[in-house]
Structure 1
């Protein structure tokens, strides 16, 4: 979402997509710094180097800006978790990769995690739906893999998926609050190892074991 400083001059014409990205970047900085309620459209326009009418051409109001940011970052996290689950069939690596997603997200420049995980506007239904939705979507993706590989019922699998998602998020935020005293990769590995020791204790289903055996190369 980064826009070069040269493109910030007031009145300069930009393609619509580039202008939108510039406005979202400015809005994110304002929301992270001040919170939703204290952030002002005047400040956002000034940060972006545009007039308020230009800002309102792209976003009718402050809430529209906020929701657009939530949608953007929510999609990023959800896609990263799905990718972690589909890039390998090794369940331990899947768990470690899913935990690493949250540590990477809280480390991003501009602190977008504060919008998704520490929003001061969860009383608004549209915001609440997005904030809760990212946890539910990621938890459901994990639950599908857990249910497919074990004999656990859907409710049990969803409980584990949500537990892993919650642990990853809270642990990543705690790690960041401590100033990253442990290297990020090491912190994510430690938490992922703990999660795997728990989830890995549930035995694989017979169908999953048969599938794994079928994929193993034949020995001469």
Structure 2
């Protein structure tokens, strides 16, 4: 094989490599500013090959957003089933994989696009339901958990001091919640 020739790898491995490259690009530039040629270059393949595998920039973006939500869900599934432990697992994920929080924020930012809005809304609501299922939290507690998580996501993205984004602060906020009698999350949560 000549120097500089692309390395052949299984399609699943190539797809995963493209998703990582796309995660970096979309975390930095969002859906509107993300460039498929930059993703292809970072992944070491051609731009047409990216299009062939994913169909469009928006479809690739949505897969990257799904991947970020999948990573959050997996972190929650591995954690002790309490809101504080899930918050801690989320913060560890954000610190370890910076693109996860940035991609999630880019998904919210691109919600003016109806397809993106529907996909992100679905994943957001599914994650809320998972948190309720895992922890037994009621609707108010889950909404408070998400509000706290959004502050942590922004604090981490902006690299604010640890004091503003630590788990102890989150636990304090969650303890302030006056639990409501509802036990299940609806789509209106």
TM-score range, shorter chain: 0.7 to 0.9
TM-score, normalised to structure 1's length?
0.67
2:96 aligned counterpart, secondary structure = coil
What root-mean-square deviation, in Å, do the aligned CA atoms of Structure 1 and Structure 2 show?
Answer: 2.8
Is it true that 1:80 corresponds to 2:75 in the alignment? yes
- Structure 1 residue 97 displacement after superposition: 0.8
Contact 2:30 2:106 in 1 (8 A): no
Which of these two proteins has the greater Rg computed from alpha carbons?
1
1:63 matched residue in structure 2: 58
TM-score, normalised to structure 2's length?
0.77
The CA deviation string for residues 87-135 of structure 1, in whole angstroms up to 9 with x for no partner, is 45xxxxx121121133123223352211212333212233223323333
Choose which of 170, 177, 181 in structure 2 pairs with 1:191: 170
The CA deviation string for residues 34-84 of structure 1, in whole angstroms up to 9 with x for no partner, is 221122222221121111232223111111211111111112212322443
Moved over 6 A (4+): none
2:147 matched residue in structure 1: 166
Aligned length: 176
Q: Which runs of 5+ in 1 are unaligned?
A: 1-8, 89-93, 148-156, 205-220
Q: Which runs of 5+ in 2 are unaligned?
A: 182-189
Choose which of 16, 23, 42 in structure 1 pairs with 2:37: 42
* Residues 1-220 of structure 1: pairs in structure 2 closer than 5 A: 9-84=4-79, 87=80, 94-119=82-107, 120-144=109-133, 145-146=135-136, 157-182=138-163, 187-195=166-174, 197-199=175-177, 202=179
